[in-house]
Structure 1
Amino acid sequence: MANHKSALKRVRQTKVRTERNRQRKATIKSLRKETLSAAESGDVKTASESLSKFSSAVDKAAKKGLIHKSKAANLKSKAAKAIASAS
């Protein structure tokens, strides 16, 4: 365990940031599942709305450095492709 005051603070900060990142990644995963399930069921309107939310969340995560910008582009592209093939 850390002994210095600054090191203890870094441990606390890391714990908070790790939890925040976990929550954001979980949100992205659930939005992705929601979008793909709507596309599979053929509900284009719901799928389009959830794609918008999903794209926004992915872009924000890429902007913050949570995921790489190329991965963000790949995720959005695959989701859009799934919706296009469903309709």
Structure 2
Amino acid sequence: MANHKSALKRVRQTKVRTERNRQRKTTIKTLRKETLAAVEAGDKKAATESLSKFSSAVDKAAKKGLIHKNKAANLKSRTAKAIAAVG
């Protein structure tokens, strides 16, 4: 365990950041599932609205360094491609 005051603070900060990152990743996964569920149902309008929210969340995560920018682009591309297939 950490002994120095600064090390104890770093432990606290890491806990907070880890929880925040976990929450953001969970949000991204949930939004993607919602979008793909709308695609499965054949509801293109709901899927495009959900894609907008999903893309925004993914872009923010990539900007913060939570996920790599190429992964963000990949996720958005695959999801958009699934929506285009419904049309």
The answer to whether TM tops 0.5 is yes
Which residue matches 1:59? 59
Q: Which runs of 4+ in 1 moved over 2 A?
A: none
TM-score (norm 2): 0.99
* Residue identity opposite 1:56 in structure 2: S
Q: What CA RMSD, in Å, does the superposition of the two structures yield over aligned residues?
A: 0.4
Q: How far has the Cα of 1:86 moved from its partner?
A: 1.2
Q: Which amino acid aligns with 1:27?
A: T
Whether 1:20 aligns to 2:20 is yes
CA–CA separation in structure 1 for the residues paired with 2:31 and 2:73: 15
1:8 aligns with 2:20: no
The CA distance in 2 between the partners of 1:6 and 1:86, in whole Å, is 54
Matched residue, 2:79: 79
Could you say which residue in structure 1 is the equivalent of 2:44?
A: 44
Residues 45-83 of structure 1, C-alpha deviation per residue, up to 9 Å, x if partnerless? 000000000000000000000000000000000000000
SS at match of 2:3: coil
Q: TM-score, normalised by structure 1?
A: 0.99
Which ranges in structure 2 are unaligned for 5 or more consecutive residues?
Answer: none
Aligned-partner residue type, residue 49 of structure 2: E
Deviations 1:5-48 (A, max 9, x none): 00000000000000000000000000000001101111000000
Unaligned runs of 5+ in 1: none
CA distance in 2, matches of 1:82, 1:41: 12
